[in-house]
Structure 1
Amino acid sequence: MFSNKQCFQQAFLKKLEMTYGKSFRESTIYDQYHTLGNMVREYISSNWIATNEKQRSSHIKQVYYLSIEFLLGKLLGQNLTNLGIREVVREGLQELGIDLEDMEGIEADAGLGNGGLGRLAACFLDSLASSNLPGHGCGIRYKHGLFDQKIVDGFQVELPEQWLRHGNAWEVRKVDEAVEISFWGEVETLYDKGRLTFRHIHSETIMAVPYDIPVIGYQTPVVNTLRLWNAEPSRFPVHKDVMEYKRDTESVSEFLYPDDTHEDGKVLRLKQQYFLVSASLQSIVLSHRKTYGTLKNFHEKVAIHINDTHPVLAIPELMRILMDEEHMGWDEAWTITTNTISYTNHTTLSEALEKWSVHLFQPLLPRIYMIVQEINERFCKQLWESYPGDWRKIEQMAIIAHDMVKMAHLALVGSYRVNGVAKLHTEILKNREMKDFYEVYPEKFNNKTNGITHRRWLLKANPQLSSAITDAIGSSWVHHPSDLEKLMPYAFDSGFKETIKRVRQERKTILAEIIQCQTGIIIDDTSIFDVQVKRLHAYKRQLLNVLHIMYLYNRLKEEKSFEIYPRTFIFGAKASPGYYYAKKIIKLINSLADKVNNDPQTSPFLKVVFLENYRVSLAEYVFPAADVSEQISTASKEASGTGNMKFMMNGALTIGTLDGANVEIFERVGSDNMFIFGLTAEEVLHYEQNGGYRSNDYYHYDKRIQQVLEQLLNGFFPNSFDLFESIYDSLLMQNDQYYVLRDFGSYTLAQEKVNTAYQSQETWLEKSIINTAQSGYFSSDRTIREYADEIWGIRSLEQGTFV
């Protein structure tokens, strides 16, 4: 039905009429979108079935990637591109009077994530399928994603995100594969044939119903699966109000990251985590038993990867299944579990490492808590044998201590591999954050630097640049992104540079039109587009960027001789609903935008834009248009970053600290092709261990800093009395935890270099092309190959054996 545009048109019109019982003329754009989506899903269904059959019949080892987030974005355009049928569909729809881009535009972002963690998971699924590897995702089908962000009077306002309002064309409900999840209740101890056994009784059960989404590889017959679990009522309890039970049940898959400022919210978050792992493991075990008839070889045929600590309950849950349902002894179950599960750590921030209070954990998950207790006791006994008498070390490393369950410690003890997500991050884990565990388990630790799928973030998001690259070096880079290095000689080719200049300007004009449409702000599309888009957090230092813009504004106002090349500063970020400090920074950015954009003296040279509701589909327009990539986190605090890779791949130049994967970008492009500033990770660590940093010194001795900080309080921003006092206090009264003032001078010098460098367009274009040429290493295809070979032990399916 997709062989040519005429066949496609006939099949499309017939499908629409049969599905909706109306003529094409009467149909809506949503009818048309869902018709096309269903056609694509049916088109790949034979390969989807064949992939599953091939994986089962070949007895090949499979990986299941468990993540609380999957930030998929929109799927229609990506799927059409991967299948190689985009042009046929576009031409066929065009003759019917339908613009394919309009149809793609009405698709809701599957916003089942918050940022890098969820987008990484989505990129990994794409690379697994495109590399013909047997790998599946397991997540939660949240009714509402994070939230829709509205900016009202400069403040962030959160509205429910409703990506399922018009249904989801890509999912298949599998109610026959639903499983039950148990909460609360108590554990009954029994002796069966002289063996101690346990049974979870008087529990409250809910049903986990799977919705499967096909993950289509690029120009390959492999179609893997993302399984999202939906919480639905099971057996209605007699002791509880029916409607209350229904509400409690459905709330488990209603919101991503429910508010946990109160205990009810904490319980719900822990429920979500167990719901995800129990449903996923029950499903994986059922499939394995159906194929092999035993679980004794489970670890030889299944790899389960936990993306951060949210799914770490997979460890005690697998133990529960093996012991309570398969009747294995502890040692056999532990051997299988600890050879099945691997773990990625995503943070160096101790406050971000999950902990749960025992008084909350134990009653909600009584059998799981018993198993965690036993794991902890056995681990502490092992530590006692290694460190006799060192109670302090044992206390620090224990999984349960001070009435708290430490999830990262459970992950470290119960997995066979632990990886960081950038070289620097992994070294910090080994030498600082997890040093004690590294001494006990040195063989577990390894590095897997993050990657991004170049098929979405270059091929799809930036067709203009993709075409220019293919015209120059051929199309092999789409399958082998390392071939982008063939672009290196073209950095000095005047004809190619002229092409890239034209491409970059086209992308900037497109983004400028989107900004005007969404915000009403008219920007100069020949100005420097200086972009910082990422989650709003103090360590990511959007505040440093803002203070520098205030400094530029002050100079433009006060010094008649001061000139800068016109610059547009673009921000996009969501702050967690309860993170009030971050929300104040959003207000500050918008207050600054009002100030500088409406000042006729400065607006020709400075514009500030805050993009509302930053998301994957908007990011696809932002990355190709950026000139400057702001990666300015406090050194040692950003585990890796992936936005830095997307900017680099699209030819933006990085201004950044030597943090996360910036270090590895620097290794590839060198100091001539990015702008490095600020403290190093070692210097930050020295301050943290030895003290000596006094932010007040920088305030008193740097008049620039003094002026911008006073402007937070002195009425510089109209109607802002006391509004930014908490920001001021964080920098001076609380000694500037993330060294914003310490790095301000260095950052300002680096920005002056940016200003000068951009004015030599020939040289700037060379730098841009070099960044793109060196970006192939940061493809998630490379990352996934490393995981497959060095952690999971999976191999690719042979092609040519599918329907």
Structure 2
Amino acid sequence: MSKPLSDHDRKKQISVRGLAGVENVAELKVAFNRHLHFTLVKDRNVASKRDYYFALANTVRDHLVGRWIRTQQYYYEKDPKRVYYISLEFYMGRTLQNTMVNLALENACDEAIYQLGLDMEELEDMEEDAGLGNGGLGRLAACFLDSMASLGLAAYGYGIRYEFGIFNQKIVNGWQVEEADDWLRYGNPWEKARPEYMRPVKFYGRTEHTPEGVKWVDTQVVLALPYDTPIPGYRNNIVNTMRLWSAKAPCDFNLKDFNVGGYIQAVLDRNLCENISRVLYPNDNFFEGKELRLKQEYFVVAATLQDIVRRFKASKFGSREIVRTDFAQLPNKVAIQLNDTHPAMAIPELMRVLVDEEKLDWDKAWDVCVRTCAYTNHTVLPEALERWPIDLFHHLLPRHLEIIYEINRRFLQYVASKFPGDNDRLRRMSLIEEGGCKKVNMAHMCIVGSHAVNGVARIHSEILVATLFKDFYELDPHKFQNKTNGITPRRWLVMCNPGLAEVIAERIGEEFVRDLDQLKKLLKFIDDDAFIRDIAKVKQENKLKFAVHLEEHYKVKINPQSMFDFQVKRIHEYKRQLLNCLHMITYYNRIKKEPNKHWTPRTIMVGGKAAPGYHTAKMIIRLITAIGEVVNHDPVIGDRLKVIFLENYRVTLAEKAIPSADLSEQISTAGTEASGTGNMKFMLNGALTIGTMDGANVEMAEEAGEKNLFIFGMRVEEVDAMDAGKGYHASEYYNRIPELKQAMDQISGGFFSHKQPDLFKELVDLLMHHDRFKVFADYEAYIKSQDKVNELYKKPKEWTKMVIHNIAGCGKFSSDRTISQYAREIWGMEPSLEKIPAPDEQLK
């Protein structure tokens, strides 16, 4: 084997990252210096690393602009059907490197920066993550935007430009502490404000029913100011748009309500309405019924629908510019995808626009609405489902409450005609939930107002139609579909794992970047010793690199020869970080009991944020850090076991961690995780999965072969049977399994919290008496499965062959496949890998 390449040399060599032509490099250096001088008003004597990052970002952005304008011109000329993906979250991470990869600029930029005497990785590290999401749902939206552009779909992402994204997590004395994420402090070179498209959004007020129709009057107006971010497709000259709305007070906000003496206070009060886009709600899989949150949800759909209608009206047929007024054509030209129930207000808002403003009769408007909208469900957890109090609706959005009542009245009439006399069914299916506090069930509204409803993994979609939405499925089975989630191979392989991308490209060419199914060809090399060595070598290089990162940023020294065992995701009881904790303690106890035995060394890393108000999740973090404090300082253990909590897990840290992983923990209780996408990222980057048959794990086991994953624990049917039968009794397992009892006794007895023996009393009580997610029921199977993992890790060749089986089975889990299915089966659009004509030469 030749000597390892430096990162710099490797990037120059990898063709999937673009060529570094002399001409390109020279042009980039000129543009970089021009931006440093004219845009940033600096020279090399006073410029900081951040200035250099901004100069590079602007240089790369120059290559986007022509393509961005050309793409919009192309859509105007062709007038294709457009898809509007509305999401309250877009977890984009960093943009610079991803843009360079998609424009085939990375090697040229890398060479230019190298020749300028600067360090590319240092500049990339100056970029703030755009953390406008909590986890899976927001990151999925980001992957979808990449795929929609790469597949040539005329697509727009619409959301909120939160001033503060997901909080930064600090670990202080073992506890999570939140800090505000001021990601816009230094500016954002990727966005362009579009004040000319500012839109008014109304709140409060009352309705008047007049002969000319219903009028919504005496409202408070907030302006929605759009900021556009370019979304480049993979080397096809297409650049789509993500448009995020920022709340602004109108100039006369509150001024008319004050006399001259109240002027100062009136101006200060403008802040109150601008709070709408101030901060992302940091809850994942938990519904928080605050007025500000409902304002955010309505704000984004009201502004977006005005944009959609404006663009629909200003269309072009052939060479004729027209004002399109035939709204019956809207579903043929517009698809609206609701990412969970957060943008559910799009349905009553579209009805309000069509009936009150465009004067369509109700039946025609409803037909247009249903054929235009589609809904993706992301969870079956009852605490995550949105139910808004009627009183809040009446106060904040009185006209929409009237519309929802009318939708419900007509819908229940339809249900009664199909199931006469079944009043229980009518009650269950109503959009309005009766009881002490009447509420609007937003999931029901999404189902009734959409032509397609999908889950995000096959098992999840099956659970939806069998349980949560059973009544609706029996009424309209044709509405329900499955669209298994996916990840973009550009960011999650080519960008974050260049070594692996190169090894794959050497064997099967570069087409896998656009067509991940090509990875199946790797099975031809399953017994090729050179390929096995190359895969193992890339993994070891990634582990060494991550070990250096941990030492630099966390001051932790780990054994790079140890198995890197990761569980990184939001901290939540259903994801069962507590099961992982019990394994950590069990393994620790075994090593202590037989210190001279040959143990498989492990570094167990857990990362993820707990919602600030989620006390149990914060206690789980504290337990993990407490176990680490004991294990990591025990001289008997040495470097055979380390437990590390990864502070402030986010997209950028994931891009470093995932390529280094040996083992991926996907251990949720069967039937609780809708899909997961972290599981796919680990699989694609050469980690083996230990997991339950939950979410997309089921399909991963199908694609790679179940024998190539470490599957354990109860299946959904067994969980259901337990609930329907004798129930779950934690004490039975505690009394029967000595290692489990020992671990629990250590937690409850203060072994991991000497100074506060009762610190984890609540967690012990939860596990023993109130555990909805049945941690103990899967403990034995989990430990046995971990034993199998340890044994296989001692046989590097067999381990790596299993890794190759997993990588080769990843084709299905590309977001390109997911989006192609959405396009054909929900939106009525045809994806394309065609390039559009390149823009004119960049303006000098």
TM-score by length of 1: 0.97
Q: Does residue 1:527 correspond to 2:562, yes or no?
A: yes
Instruction: Give the deviation of 1:25 after TM superposition.
Output: 2.7
2:253 alignment counterpart: 236
3-state SS, counterpart of residue 749 of structure 2: coil
Q: Does residue 1:384 correspond to 2:408, yes or no?
A: no
Q: Which amino acid aligns with 1:19?
A: T
1:591 alignment counterpart: 626
Which deviates more from structure 2 when the two are superposed, residues 176-185 or residues 512-521?
A: 512-521
User: Counterparts of 1:558-573 in structure 2 under 5 Å?
Assistant: 558-560=593-595, 562-573=597-608
Which deviates more from structure 2 when the two are superposed, residues 26-35 or residues 361-370?
A: 26-35
3-state SS, counterpart of residue 131 of structure 2: strand
- How far apart are the structure 1 equivalents of 2:202 and 2:292? 14
Q: Which amino acid aligns with 1:475?
A: E
Instruction: Give the deviation of 1:4 after TM superposition.
Output: 1.8
2:565–2:661 contact (8 Å) kept in structure 1:
yes
1:729 alignment counterpart: 765
User: Counterparts of 1:218-617 in structure 2 under 5 Å?
Assistant: 218-234=234-250, 235-237=252-254, 238-239=256-257, 241-243=265-267, 245-257=269-281, 266-291=290-315, 292-294=323-325, 295-402=327-434, 403-560=438-595, 562-617=597-652
2:790 alignment counterpart: 755
Q: Which amino acid aligns with 1:188?
A: E
2:205 alignment counterpart: 185
Instruction: Give the deviation of 1:35 after TM superposition.
Output: 2.2
User: Counterparts of 1:190-229 in structure 2 under 5 Å?
Assistant: 190-192=210-212, 197-229=213-245
- How far apart are the structure 1 equivalents of 2:669 and 2:163? 35
- Post-superposition Cα deviations, 1:407-465, rounded to whole Å, max 9, x if no partner, equal 00000000000001111001001111111110011000011100000111111100011
- Post-superposition Cα deviations, 1:231-289, rounded to whole Å, max 9, x if no partner, equal 11114123475256322212111110168999997000000000111111111111111
Q: Taking structure 1 as reference, are residues 274 and 3 closer, same or farther at Cα in structure 2, changes over 3 Å only?
A: farther
2:282–2:612 contact (8 Å) kept in structure 1:
no
- How far apart are the structure 2 equivalents of 1:485 and 1:692? 43
1:303–1:340 contact (8 Å) kept in structure 2:
yes
Instruction: Give the deviation of 1:721 after TM superposition.
Output: 3.0
2:181 alignment counterpart: 161
Which deviates more from structure 2 when the two are superposed, residues 256-265 or residues 392-401?
A: 256-265
Q: Which amino acid aligns with 2:600?
A: Y
3-state SS, counterpart of residue 719 of structure 1: coil
1:2–1:85 contact (8 Å) kept in structure 2:
no
Instruction: Give the deviation of 1:351 after TM superposition.
Output: 1.8
2:53 alignment counterpart: 33
Which deviates more from structure 2 when the two are superposed, residues 224-233 or residues 472-481?
A: 472-481
Q: Taking structure 1 as reference, are residues 672 and 724 closer, same or farther at Cα in structure 2, changes over 3 Å only?
A: same
1:322–1:328 contact (8 Å) kept in structure 2:
yes
- How far apart are the structure 2 equivalents of 1:182 and 1:305? 23
1:730–1:737 contact (8 Å) kept in structure 2:
no
Which deviates more from structure 2 when the two are superposed, residues 681-690 or residues 183-192?
A: 681-690
- How far apart are the structure 1 equivalents of 2:528 and 2:284? 56
- Post-superposition Cα deviations, 1:503-528, rounded to whole Å, max 9, x if no partner, equal 11000011111111222211100000
2:669–2:774 contact (8 Å) kept in structure 1:
yes
User: Counterparts of 1:637-786 in structure 2 under 5 Å?
Assistant: 637-717=672-752, 718-734=754-770, 736-786=771-821
Q: How many residues are paired up?
A: 798
2:842 alignment counterpart: none
Percent of residue pairs identical: 46
Q: Which amino acid aligns with 2:377?
A: N
3-state SS, counterpart of residue 314 of structure 2: helix
2:134–2:283 contact (8 Å) kept in structure 1:
no
1:61–1:795 contact (8 Å) kept in structure 2:
no
Instruction: Give the deviation of 1:776 after TM superposition.
Output: 1.6
2:658–2:681 contact (8 Å) kept in structure 1:
yes
Q: Which amino acid aligns with 2:694?
A: D
Gaps (5+ residues) in structure 2?
1-20, 259-264, 316-322, 840-844
1:104 alignment counterpart: 124
- Post-superposition Cα deviations, 1:644-674, rounded to whole Å, max 9, x if no partner, equal 1000001110000000100001001123211
Instruction: Give the deviation of 1:619 after TM superposition.
Output: 0.3
Which deviates more from structure 2 when the two are superposed, residues 374-383 or residues 682-691?
A: 682-691
1:2–1:89 contact (8 Å) kept in structure 2:
no
Q: Taking structure 1 as reference, are residues 491 and 261 closer, same or farther at Cα in structure 2, changes over 3 Å only?
A: closer
- How far apart are the structure 2 equivalents of 1:258 and 1:755? 37
Q: Taking structure 1 as reference, are residues 497 and 213 closer, same or farther at Cα in structure 2, changes over 3 Å only?
A: same
Q: Does residue 1:93 correspond to 2:134, yes or no?
A: no
Alignment RMSD: 1.8
3-state SS, counterpart of residue 208 of structure 2: strand
2:134–2:282 contact (8 Å) kept in structure 1:
no
- How far apart are the structure 1 equivalents of 2:121 and 2:287? 45
- Post-superposition Cα deviations, 1:621-650, rounded to whole Å, max 9, x if no partner, equal 111000001000000000000001000001
Gaps (5+ residues) in structure 1?
none
Q: Which amino acid aligns with 2:362?
A: W
Q: Which amino acid aligns with 2:221?
A: T
- How far apart are the structure 1 equivalents of 2:487 and 2:287? 37
- How far apart are the structure 2 equivalents of 1:215 and 1:560? 54
Instruction: Give the deviation of 1:11 after TM superposition.
Output: 2.0
3-state SS, counterpart of residue 569 of structure 1: strand
Instruction: Give the deviation of 1:48 after TM superposition.
Output: 1.0
1:80 alignment counterpart: 100
1:315–1:337 contact (8 Å) kept in structure 2:
yes
Instruction: Give the deviation of 1:802 after TM superposition.
Output: 4.6
3-state SS, counterpart of residue 608 of structure 1: strand
Which deviates more from structure 2 when the two are superposed, residues 765-774 or residues 687-696?
A: 687-696
3-state SS, counterpart of residue 748 of structure 2: coil
TM-score by length of 2: 0.92
Q: Taking structure 1 as reference, are residues 3 and 384 closer, same or farther at Cα in structure 2, changes over 3 Å only?
A: farther
